[in-house]
A and B are shown apart, each in its own frame.
Chain A
Amino acid sequence: MIVTCSKEQGIGIVEVSHALTAATVDSFREQLSKWQEAEDDVLNYVIDLKHVDFMDSAGLGTMIAMLKRISEKGGDMKIACLQKKPRMVFEITRAYKVFEIFDTVEEALKAFE
């Protein structure tokens, strides 16, 4: 699991390289926390899921926990490039009602403007 974090227009872009499951969420959390500690001025995030072809309840739980933490700090989080299979998980769990989902990272960034 490789999490690539970058900053654009003051917004954190988090690119996840692998399926987000119970086996990978710890690594995801750990890598993201390190970057957040280093970049503590970033409030808003776009999660780029174009390489995430699978997500289970642990992965979804991590997304929800992340949204909660970001919201508590006054920020917001948007999801971009959600693939077909994880999209089904979002649909059946009603998670699409909780997250703002965009087709591309650019669209998600625009939504912050």
Chain B
Amino acid sequence: MNAVFYTADAQSWAESLGDIPWPLLPVANRPLLDYWLEACAEQGIEQVQVILGEDSERVEDFARDGARWGLKISYSFARTSEHPLDYLKSIADRWDEGLLFIGAPFFLRHRKAFTPAGFETLDACLHEHDGQIQFLFGKSGAEVKALLAGEPGSRTGLEQIHIHPFTIDSTAAYFDLNMKMVAGEFPRYVTAGFLDSDHSSIGYNVLTLPSAQLRAPILVGNDCRFAAMTTIGPKAVIGDHVIVDSRSELENCLILQDTYIGQNLEIKNKIVSGNRLVNPEDGTSIEIDDSWLVARNRPDMRTEDLVRYIVLWFLGFGVALAQLVPFCILYPVVRAVRIGKYFDEKFHDPRTGYTALPVFRKLKNRRSVAYSLFRALTLDRFPWLLLALRGRLFVCGQPPMRHPEDDEIIHQLKQYYPAVFSYADYCKESDRLTDSLWYAHIRSLFEDVKILIKSLLYRFFRAGR
């Protein structure tokens, strides 16, 4: 059997949700296309053709060659003059082994009794919405040709195998589907690794501070960071890379990926997609981008980044200049008493993949005035500062990630600023991934100066400990 997914038609309702192509819009934190491909894998379908329209790159980038699902995916572009039905008819001979066609934002909503094996008993069927074929299924060439010729197929269609055909034709329908998923349906789509006893699921690396309240049912994606006093749920779907600031309450809402929620907000019955706030009832959307309200996480701030880089370079130059003489005096002493030395260690580099950085390590576990002074004056970072002045590191930013131990962290960071100083220098409880994500969102000149001053002071007062 072959599968064809027609994603070329634009969906006006999806435009209010931002720039995510509709096949990638998440349903309970998973792209819609993911469910379709998973259904193919469950049915033993190997060949999938995805017909692309606008934003094809992002769809292609997500599904790639289909190896993740054990499928072989090929791509083609829709001709504007050709109706998808005409296209299927024009190459009808290819469907001799059967066809599964989805041609719209169509969700195969599982009822409790559904099992993937049910498809074996499914009669040839076709589902239409507003005169458009959304779903077509035939196990043989004859069945497919009959359906394409206009025969109605099974009366009960997908319902006979306990699938409720759900057409997403508005923001309200999209929101409703997500809320139904979080209210209890999503475990029907997720098998291994999740416990659904209380209808809650929280992804990896989600940092929640003690006073935050997370009330089921909720779905929380990866790399989220909730500050203190945050109340989340019930019925909240939080996508990946979302930051919720302190004292915000989220209830009956859908937060899509890369969203920053400001302080002390109350978000109920809303969709938030980056800097967009959407009322699902009528699709009204408002673009805010205001860190006091809602904003796009990880904003692209090239000019600000450049200004920040230049100012920090001069500050770094000042620190390096102040350290030059003490380093020239103390490093020979440290080497002479054999208390510490530099070792080259591999770290990830945003440009070259990886690079070796000199890391100062204590050789002997004994007290040493020279070592304490060396550390107190942050002289162990002097070679890194020189590298920062040569443009190979940032002065302030994220801690350099080790290669290959930190591959997973690097994979999750969209923006990597390996730096001489980071939160880890003065915050003992620092978690490198969440802090790195946080820095990427909040980075500013003020934040960098704060990191620099706090790191230098903390190291000075905690020297040698």
- Please list the residues of chain A having a beta carbon within 8 angstroms of any beta carbon in chain B: 54, 56-58, 84-85, 88-89, 91-94
Q: How far is the CA of A57 from the CA of B284 in the complex (A)?
A: 19
Contact yes or no, B279 A84, CB < 8 A: yes
Contact A92 B270 (CB under 8 A): yes
Most interface-central of A57, A88, A89, A92 (chain B CB within 10 A): A92
- Contact call A88/B284, Cβ cutoff below 8 A: yes
Closest 4 CB pairs of A and B: A57-B292, A85-B286, A56-B290, A92-B265
* Contact A92 B286, beta carbon cutoff 8 Å: no
- Which single member of A54, A56, A58, A91 contacts B266 (CB below 8 Å)? A91
0/1 interface trace, chain B 356-395, chain A, CB 8 Å (1 if under)? 0000000000000000000000000000000000000000
Whether, in the assembled complex, B85 has its beta carbon less than 8 Å from a beta carbon of chain A, the answer is: no
Nearest B residue to A59 via CB reads: B290
27 residue pairs A–B, Cβ–Cβ below 8 Å:
A54-B286, A56-B288, A56-B290, A56-B292, A56-B293, A57-B290, A57-B293, A58-B290, A84-B279, A84-B282, A84-B284, A88-B270, A88-B277, A88-B286, A89-B277, A89-B286, A89-B288, A91-B268, A91-B270, A92-B265, A92-B266, A92-B267, A92-B293, A93-B264, A93-B266, A93-B293, A94-B266
**Cβ-neighbour of A88 out of B262, B264, B279, B290 (below 8 A):** B279
Query: What separation, in Å, do the CA atoms of A33 and B21 have in the docked complex?
Result: 47
Interface residues of B in 254-268 (CB under 8 A from A): 262, 264-268
**Alpha-carbon distance A27/B62, docked complex (angstroms):** 47
Interface residues of B in 172-210 (CB under 8 A from A): none
**Bound-complex Cα distance A56 to B267 (A):** 16
Chain A residues whose C-beta falls within 8 Å of the C-beta of B279 in the assembled complex: 84, 88
Which residue on chain A has the smallest CB distance to residue B291?
A: A57
- Least Cβ distance of A25 to chain B in Å? 13
C-alpha spacing A53/B64, complex, angstroms: 41
Inter-chain CA distance A82–B390, complex, in Å, is 55
Distance (whole angstroms) from the CB of A9 to the closest CB of chain B: 34
Report A-chain residues with C-beta under 8 Å of the C-beta of B267.
Answer: 92
**Across-interface contacts of A91 in B (CB, < 8 A):** 266, 268, 270
Binding site for A on B (CB under 8 A): 262, 264-268, 270, 277, 279, 282, 284, 286, 288, 290, 292-294
Q: Considering only CB atoms, which chain B residue lies closest to A97 in the complex?
A: B266
In whole angstroms, what is the CA distance A91 to B268 when docked?
A: 8
B277 touches A92 (CB 8 A): yes
Q: Which of B270, B277, B282, B286 has the most CB of A within 10 A?
A: B286
Question: Are the C-beta atoms of B265 and A93 separated by less than 8 Å?
Answer: yes
User: Considering residues B265, B268, B270, B288, which has the most beta carbons from chain A within 10 angstroms of its beta carbon?
Assistant: B288
Nearest A-chain residue to B265, judged by Cβ: A92
- Inter-chain CA distance A54–B288, complex, in Å, is 9
Q: How far is the CB of A19 from chain B (nearest CB, A)?
A: 11
Provide the residues of chain B in CB contact with A89, threshold 8 Å.
277, 286, 288, 293
Additional A-B contact list (17), CB under 8 Å, known A88-B284, A91-B266, A94-B266: A56-B292, A56-B293, A57-B290, A57-B293, A58-B290, A84-B279, A85-B286, A88-B279, A89-B286, A89-B288, A91-B268, A91-B270, A92-B266, A92-B270, A92-B293, A92-B294, A93-B293
Contacts of B270 in A (CB 8 A): 88, 91-92
Closest CB of chain B to A18's CB: distance in Å? 15
Kindly provide the distance from the CB of B270 to the nearest chain A CB, expressed in whole angstroms: 7
Q: Given the complex, which residues of B lie within 8 Å of A57, measured CB to CB? A: 262, 290, 292-293
Nearest residue, chain B, Cβ from A94: B266
Complex CA–CA separation, A85 to B265 (angstroms):
16
Residue of B nearest to A56 (CB): B290
**Closest approach, in angstroms, between the C-beta of B294 and any C-beta of chain A?**
8
Nearest-CB residue, chain A, relative to B286: A85
Nearest CB in chain B to that of A54: its residue: B286
- Report the Cα distance A84→B283, complex, angstroms: 11
In the bound complex, CA of A91 to CA of B262 (Å): 14
Q: CA A83 – CA B146 in complex, angstroms?
A: 52
Q: B residues within 8 A CB of A93?
A: 264-266, 293
Chain A residues within an 8 Å CB radius of B284: 84-85, 88
- Whole-angstrom distance between the alpha carbons of A84 and B267 in the complex? 16
Closest chain B residue, CB of each to CB of A96? B266
CB distance from B419 to the nearest CB of A (A): 30
Q: Report Cα–Cα, A54/B293, bound state, in Å.
A: 13
Q: A90 CB to closest chain B CB, in angstroms?
A: 11
A43 to B288, CA, bound (A): 33
